[in-house]
Amino acid sequence: MSLAVISLSALILALALSSISAINVGFLAIVLAWLVGVYAGGLTVDQVIAGFPASLFLTLVGLTLLFSMAQVNGTLDRITYKAVRRVAATPGAIPFVFFVLTSVLAAIGPGHIAACALMAPLAMAAAGRYGIPPFLMAIMIANGASSGSLSPIAPTGVVVEGITTKIGLGDVRWAIFLNNFVAHIAIAWTAYLALGGWRLLRTRALPAEAGSYYGNPAEAGLHDGDQALDWKQWLTCAVIAALIGSVIVLKLNVGLAAFAGAVILTFLRAADETAAVKAMPWGVIMMVSGVTLLVTMVDKAGGMALFADFLSRLATPGTATAVAAFFSGVISLYSSTIGVVLPALLPTVPDLISKIGGGNPLALVSSMIVGGHLVDVSPLSTLGALCLAAAPPGTNERRLFTQLLIWGISMTVVAAVVCWLFFR
């Protein structure tokens, strides 16, 4: 058996085990990279370790540390609460406000999982209070989170930028962000209209109802949200704004700039560093880093070229975007989009284009991203699970689970059609 087959089999094994077990696929991927690289490929340990994405790791740690500080000192909670409270009297607008808020939160740094975790309890509680279908609200929240996830300063955007730069696409950060954003807006709007959201636009909440719900932070799922921002929170806002500005205008390294911001907040005692470190998504960070290490080793062994050859047998230049979106969606139903799907599939783009005799690399990358993210409404994915866990009292949770699962599965086909029509 060739090394290419062995290495690709190791990657497939990691994907499969991540779907049926509780093991962090990143840790498993590190072990498999070691075993296959050293004992099957004849590489040294140092050569295997050289494939670890040190730059990506530092960027993810810096970003998540800074926004964990913003979470633990109450900054994100308080800003979110104040923004939502203003539209409580218009139920029909509430799903869109949550879509926008979740998208913005995901885009400015925390990422789609953190944004969804923050917004889902408040959004689903509002759905129960104002008669908004929980299924509709879950779709708006999950798509809102995913729509902002490809921002150049969000974790997923950072991961994708590293891969697209490595495969020679250059600076396509904003093009990818826009493609993903438009796709999710289109799906969210369609879902809103198809699931009866237009009826909500005709209703109005009584002032007493709005006041009773949004005037009680504990009931809304937030603590002391109606209070003014204190100096620690204002300073946190200023640091985040400076981070965004420095990355866009001064082209600073986003990870190192985030570390600088975190150090400032710690030094001035505006955030609890220990609590922030504990709140960081270490599992996700190691998942992304570990899978990237394995993919790097598989690529060197020829495994990624072998997988690209498999995809090329199913695709033509005219159908490549549909095939790419469909496969990304199917894999993402059972595994992490940022940690597994994108690091595993995006590197195959150059080989896939070569084997099928042409194609637009940006279109293929966008298709894989959109396909992987649209299915994340499924309760088997993190975003769908967060919305299901926050379902308001009285919700038929089994029915909601089934609705989200059917929607997520259907998105594999929808993503294929959408990407085939728009990404050429």
Give residues with Cβ within 8 angstroms of 198, minimum separation 6. Answer: 92, 192
- Work out the percent of the chain whose per-residue pLDDT is above 70: 90
Of 104-113, 146-155, 275-284, 382-391, highest mean pLDDT? 146-155
Q: Identify residue 244 by its one-letter amino acid code.
A: I
pLDDT, position 229: 86
Reported for 220-225, long-range contacts at CB under 8 A and 24+ positions apart, including other chains, are 220/81, 220/84, 220/122, 220/125, 220/126, 221/121, 221/122, 221/125, 221/390, 222/77, 222/78, 222/80, 222/81, 222/122, 223/74, 223/77, 224/74, 224/78, 225/77, 225/78, 225/80, 225/81, 225/82, 225/85
Residue 375 has pLDDT above 50, yes or no: yes
- 399-423: per-residue pLDDT in tens? 888 898 899 999 999 999 999 998 8
pLDDT, position 216: 39
pLDDT, position 373: 94
Residue range 101-124: mean pLDDT, rounded: 83
Contact (Cβ atoms closer than 8 angstroms) between residue 149 and residue 374: no
Give residues with Cβ within 8 angstroms of 365, minimum separation 6. Answer: 160, 164, 169, 172, 176, 346, 349
Query: What pTM did the predictor assign?
Result: 0.72
Mean pLDDT of the chain: 84
Q: Dihedrals φ, ψ of 315, to 5°?
A: -125, 160
The tokens 């880093």 sit on which residue?
A: 289
Residue 249 has pLDDT above 90, yes or no: no
The tokens 């710690």 sit on which residue?
A: 266
- 284-336: per-residue pLDDT in tens? 788 778 888 988 888 788 887 787 777 778 888 889 999 999 988 887 876 67
- 191-246: per-residue pLDDT in tens? 998 887 777 766 665 443 443 333 333 344 444 445 788 999 999 999 988 987 88
